[in-house]
Amino acid sequence: MDGVSDIVVVKLGGSVITNKDTPCSLRADVVDSLSNVLGRSPLKKVVVHGGGSFGHYYAKKAGISTSCGPVEDIDDVFLTREAMFELNKHLLRSLHAHGLHPYVISPFVESRDEYLVDFFLNLLGSGFTPVLFGDVIPCKGGFKVISGDDISYLVCSILKPSRMIFCIDVDGVYPSSKMDGAIISEFDCKMLRNFVGSNKKFDVTGGIRRKLEIACKIASLGTDVLFVNGFKPDVVLKALNGLYDVGTCIRGKR
């Protein structure tokens, strides 16, 4: 593997690291076990996390969504971001306690020029773990939420990593929204149209359907994408170690 392709991007879903049913409620034990697994992996990693009951709670309350639009009170932008920073602070402390050196990158601009490639590679080469998270950013006509999944795509389009791992709150992608039966072990992006979004209480960024769309975009970059259960540290470790039969895999287009 060359210097760029041995990077793994890991998205920690908000429904894993927080309890989405209660505003601003951290799952400290889960954060700790994920940090432990990330700390044990020798790979170069970029960590992206979602908003869960922190960012989503405030964004939903204020009507801030992934579509660009005016906000009535800019304080809502502040409050949503403050909640994200709060969640991020917990994560950073935990990653650091497990031997990593997190380097937060925020706000994340929607650009992918050469400068950013070097920016990431210099950080990774110095032993840092870049950490990014879903955010609220200005746009023409107001503000919008940029999800951790969108940010993961941007990071992948910059770094073209060999693998991207989505840590979600179930074992993988289920064939139907009922989420019963066995998970799909290898997802073919042609199956996308059969999927409907889930309706999580605080989610302003669009459920599994949107996640799969982004995952397919990431796979089209040549990156293998894995969906694994973030509540199962042994499974996350296996995924980090390159095992693909521990969740749902989308093979990168080569």
Residues 107, 114, 217, CA angle at the centre, nearest 5°? Answer: 70
Task: State yes or no: residue 130 binds ligand IPE (CB under 6 A).
Answer: no
Which whole-number Å values give the CA distances from 8 to 19, 30, 183, 242, in the listed order? 26, 20, 23, 10
The alpha-carbon radius of gyration of the chain (Å, integer) is 17
- Closer CB to ligand IPE, 126 or 199, in the complex: 199
Q: Does 88 bind ligand IPE (CB under 6 A)?
A: no
State the residue for tokens 């982004």: 214
Stretch that binds ligand IPE, among 145-153, 212-220, 234-242, 243-251 (CB under 6 A): 145-153
Return the structure tokens found at 25: 């409620």
Stretch that binds ligand IPE, among 47-55, 91-99, 106-114, 246-254 (CB under 6 A): 47-55
Q: Does 35 engage in binding with ligand IPE (CB under 6 A)?
A: no
* Cβ–Cβ < 8 Å for 7, 44: yes
The DSSP secondary-structure symbol of 236 reads: H
Judged by CB under 6 A, the number of residues near ligand IPE is 21
User: Residue 55 interacts with ligand IPE (CB under 6 A)?
Assistant: yes
52 binds ligand IPE (CB under 6 A): yes
At CA 33, angle to CA 31 and CA 39, rounded to 5? 100
Taking CA atoms, 70 is separated from 7, 8, 65, 84, 139, in Å, by 37, 36, 10, 20, 9
Q: How far is the CB of 241 from ligand IPE (least distance, A)?
A: 24
Nearer to ligand IPE among residue 25 and residue 115 (C-beta): 25
Q: 223, 162 in Cβ contact below 8 A?
A: yes
Among 80, 88, 94, 162, binds ligand IPE (CB under 6 A): 80
Residue among 147, 148, 144, 139 at smallest CA distance from 76: 144
Q: How far is the CB of 13 from ligand IPE (least distance, A)?
A: 4
- Is 203 a binding residue for ligand IPE by CB under 6 A? The answer is yes
Instruction: Name the residue nearer to ligand IPE (CB basis): 149 or 224.
Output: 149
In the bound state with ligand IPE, the residue whose beta carbon lies nearer, of 3 and 69, is 69
Eight-state DSSP code of residue 250 = E
Amino acid identity of residue 23, one-letter, is: P
205 binds ligand IPE (CB under 6 A): yes
Binding residue for ligand IPE, selected from 130, 134, 161, 252, defined by CB under 6 A:
134
Binding site for ligand IPE (CB under 6 A): 13-15, 50-52, 55-56, 59, 80, 84, 134-136, 145, 147-149, 203-205
